[in-house]
Chains A and B, each alone.
Chain A
Amino acid sequence: MPLLLAVLMASPLSQAEDLVAVAIVDGGIPAPLTSVPGSPDRGRLIVRDISKASCLICHAMPIPEEPDHGQIGPPLEGIGSAYSVPELRLRLVDPKAINPETLMPSYYRIEGLTGVLARYAGTPIYTAQEIEDVVAYLATLKAD
């Protein structure tokens, strides 16, 4: 039975897109959130963009031109071999569906949050397309 995570909801305070409903199946989200396929090149830019609260803040990544990588989460080198695309997508969209205690934010979920700054209220951290782009990039990070 698929679990509906995102409630369709428009925020009057922002021009946010309505959240796409996502369904968890067998520990992953098999269906892409957008019709435009994710771009690994765009994803590689997003993961290092500090203004997007992105991966590199907490994770080491195979991006040698960036000097400072976070140490909070596990290194992401080889993550594309460890997890399938649906599993990667769930780990970005809502890692708390797997482990409620995780520090990692849910990048495409707006419920269950407390005291969100008004300009972010009702919007997920990533857009649906950014989720797809980052998933596409992470899938390229194969173990040697």
Chain B
Amino acid sequence: MRFLVLLVGVVSAGLAASAFSRAQEADPTPTPRSGYEFMAPQTQALQDDDFVNPAFFSVEAGERLWSTPMGSEGLSCASCHEAAETSMAGVAARYPQYDPDVGGLVNLEGRINQMLTKEMGAEALAYESEALLGLTTYVALQSRGMPMAVDIEGPARPYFEAGRDYFFTRRGQLDLSCSQCHDGLAGQKLRGDTISQGQINGFPIYRLLWNSTASRHRMFAWCNTSLRAEPEAAGSETYLALELYLAWRGGGLPMESPAVRR
């Protein structure tokens, strides 16, 4: 009898290990579904038509900047990367990534600023500035329809794990983790709003609530504040780690930037 119990224990442990190979034990991570699926039809319609999607003002600003010389070297992005449609195709889908020169994670915003300061002799652009949102959105657009696929192995692994821990930690006065709503309750109603999976494949997004284009990190800060938790700074190591975890969690979702969300 004792042997049987032991055997059942070993077998079920084995099953658990294979069934939840995405992460630790009893990982509730759902099959990824884009935030698009949780939007009202009129919001989806705004995203479906590039001519009415308000984020295309950011795309156009980014497109202009792409070929505008910035900084003391007299270089524009296009001086080296030429046509973004070819050189940037698929790039945004692979961020954030570990950068040995930085010794940490770099996301798309960080890479753009690294180029500006290290290669072009320009000042870094502020997070949520029109210029950085524009360049980020323009570059992300070149990956539209391509599957999000980040590397979480090797030196990226500790950051991935930190991001996952953050996602599963209850915080704020309301004492809720990201996972409790975005894994467990996606599709259900929080008053009039449908809870999404919190996927990030559509960023930068145009957010109707803000009447503006917005970065992934601005959204993280908003979520924190909604839980009455202290937000982290945009570009912080914590948010970069969370961004890496979320990009992995939504792996395979087609990039949608610039998506429209409520």
Please list the residues of chain A having a beta carbon within 8 angstroms of any beta carbon in chain B: 50, 53, 56-58, 67-72, 96, 103, 105-106, 112-118, 120, 123, 125
A-chain residues with CB within 8 Å of residue B180 when the two chains form the complex = 103
B23-31, B141-149, B182-190, B204-212 - interface stretch:
B182-190
Please list the residues of chain B having a beta carbon within 8 angstroms of any beta carbon in chain A: 169-176, 180-181, 184-185, 188-192, 224-225, 228-230
B-chain residues with CB within 8 Å of residue A53 when the two chains form the complex = 173-174, 228
Q: Do B190 and A116 touch (CB < 8 A)?
A: no
> At the interface, is chain B mostly helix, strand, loop or mixed?
loop
Partner of B175, one of A50, A69, A113: A113
Known pairs A68-B189, A68-B191, A105-B175; list 15 more (Cβ under 8 Å): A56-B191, A57-B190, A68-B192, A69-B191, A70-B190, A71-B188, A103-B180, A103-B181, A114-B169, A115-B171, A116-B230, A117-B172, A117-B173, A117-B224, A117-B228
- Complex Cα gap A132–B171 (Å): 26
A-chain residues with CB within 8 Å of residue B189 when the two chains form the complex = 68-72
* Nearest CB on A from B165, distance (A): 12
B-chain residues with CB within 8 Å of residue A72 when the two chains form the complex = 185, 188-190
- Complex Cα gap A8–B32 (Å): 45
- Complex Cα gap A103–B183 (Å): 13
Most buried by B among A103, A123, A125: A103
* Nearest CB on B from A29, distance (A): 19
* Nearest CB on A from B190, distance (A): 5
A and B contact pairs by CB, cutoff 8 A, 19 listed? A53-B173, A58-B190, A67-B192, A68-B192, A69-B189, A72-B188, A103-B176, A112-B175, A113-B170, A113-B172, A113-B175, A115-B171, A115-B230, A116-B172, A116-B229, A117-B173, A117-B225, A117-B230, A125-B173
B-chain residues with CB within 8 Å of residue A112 when the two chains form the complex = 175
- Complex Cα gap A136–B26 (Å): 40
